[in-house]
Amino acid sequence: MANRLTARRVFLQRGATWATTLGLGLHLGAGAQPATAPNSLRILCTAPGGSIPDIVARRYSEHLGGRYAGGVIVDNRGGAAGRIAVAALKQAAPDGATLLLAQGAVATVYPYLYDKLAYDPITDLKPVSVAAEAVLGLAVGPAVPESVTTLRQFVDWLRANPAQANYGSPGIGTLPHLMGALLAHEAQMSWTHVAYAGGPAALLDLMAGRLTALSLPEGLLRPHLAAGKLRVLATSGATRSSFLPNVASVAEQGFPKLVMREWFAFFMPGGTAQAMVDETSRALQQAAAQPALRASLADIGMLAVAGSANDMRERIAQEQPYWRGVIGATGIRAE
């Protein structure tokens, strides 16, 4: 397990350097559409409007429209931790007119989490490009006393208040869900997971005191933190986040095995020709190199990280053994 965690952190550090390569080898001009580009492009999104995946999908759509495709629409298919959107991609024609914006977990985690999947991650999902990544934040709301300010204090409070030992996530199998399960495993305590169809609904329950804790990409938490409606006890990086420098990381608080990064990526239907996949990948890399897109993602705590289809395949291959180990250690299973 330790070796897998070390390999995971090395890969995350390597992944953060991808942004420096954006723009290299790109040949699409600002107003030039490649000959293979679709007249209209649909981006299936694994989460509802207002969620981090939705925002990432829409930011990219703004830069693809009129450049790579004549028009771009975002089709939100939230629910079932992204599997509804994946099913829609599986049914789509492999003609370059449909993309899926999904959490990397659909390819790295779900093969080990679910006994049966309605799709084959190898044959039904064609990696195109990573889109964005961020660290997670573990937040608490008014259900937790303000005297609880650290992760260890929170664990102690949960043990003393088992009736309130619950946490939310955007869905079963998402990284926020796995972060909570891994915290319970490392701290040798138990709490109840509450799955939501996306982050916004979970945030409302957290801030109303109906939910004790919530793990989400930090960008969704920051506005409510500034407004005093929640508190972030830890972020999931090896070091402190530049977006939340006053919040100690999980590693800094003595939980190094909780170090992880949430990432989102684009996929195409499994039968899509590789030449078309590569053309789309180049268009996405060009979009990610635009200062406006990078700034808009930074506003929600996300780093624009695009690369080739091969880069993405390698990332999936390197992460799968790590998540297989985590799921084996925590005993998480999903129907």
Residues 121 and 141 in one domain: no
Same domain? For 129 and 152 the reply is no
Are residues 84 and 203 both part of a single domain?
Answer: no
Predicted local confidence at residue 55, as pLDDT: 93
Looking at the structure, do residues 268 and 297 belong to the same domain, yes or no? yes
Domain boundary residue, one of 243, 258, 273 = 258
Domain that holds residue 198: 135-258
Domain boundary among 213, 234, 258: 258
Question: Is residue 272 domain-shared with residue 193, that is, in the same domain?
Answer: no
Name the nearest CA neighbour of 246 among 137, 153, 133.
137
Determine, yes or no, domain membership for 89: yes
Same domain, 160 and 228: yes
Number of Cβ within 10 Å of residue 70's Cβ equals: 13
The reply to whether 12 and 126 lie within a common domain is yes
The strand pairing partners of 166, in sequence order, are: 192
With respect to residue 207, please indicate whether it lies within any of the assigned structural domains. yes
| Per-residue model confidence (pLDDT) at position 36 | 55
Q: How many domains does the chain have?
A: 2
Examine the domain organization and report whether 42 and 128 are in the same domain: yes
Do 14 and 128 lie in one domain? The reply is: yes
Question: If we measure between CA atoms, which residue out of 335, 102, 79 comes closest to residue 198?
Answer: 79
Q: What is the pLDDT of residues 309-323, one digit of tens each?
A: 999 999 999 999 999
Residue 335 lies in a domain: no
Q: Is 98 a member of any domain?
A: yes
State the amino acid at position 36 in one-letter form. Answer: T
Residue with tokens 């939980």: 255
Mean pLDDT across 265-294: 96
Model confidence, pTM: 0.80
Instruction: Using the CB atoms, write b or e for 197-234: b if 16+ within 10 Å.
Output: bbbbbbbebbbeeebbbbbbbbbbbbebbeeebbbbbb
From first CA to last CA, the distance across the chain in angstroms is 25
Q: Is 246 contained in some domain? A: yes
Task: Decide: 45 and 75 in contact? Cβ < 8 Å.
Answer: yes
Q: Which of 213, 231, 258 is the last residue of a domain?
A: 258
Residue 335: which pLDDT band, with cuts at 50, 70 and 90?
Answer: low
Residue 81 pLDDT > 80: no
Q: Which two tokens stand for residue 44?
A: 């299936």
142 within a domain of the structure (yes/no):
yes
* Cα–Cα nearest to 152, from 189, 194, 205: 189
How far out from the chain centre does Cα 22 lie? 20
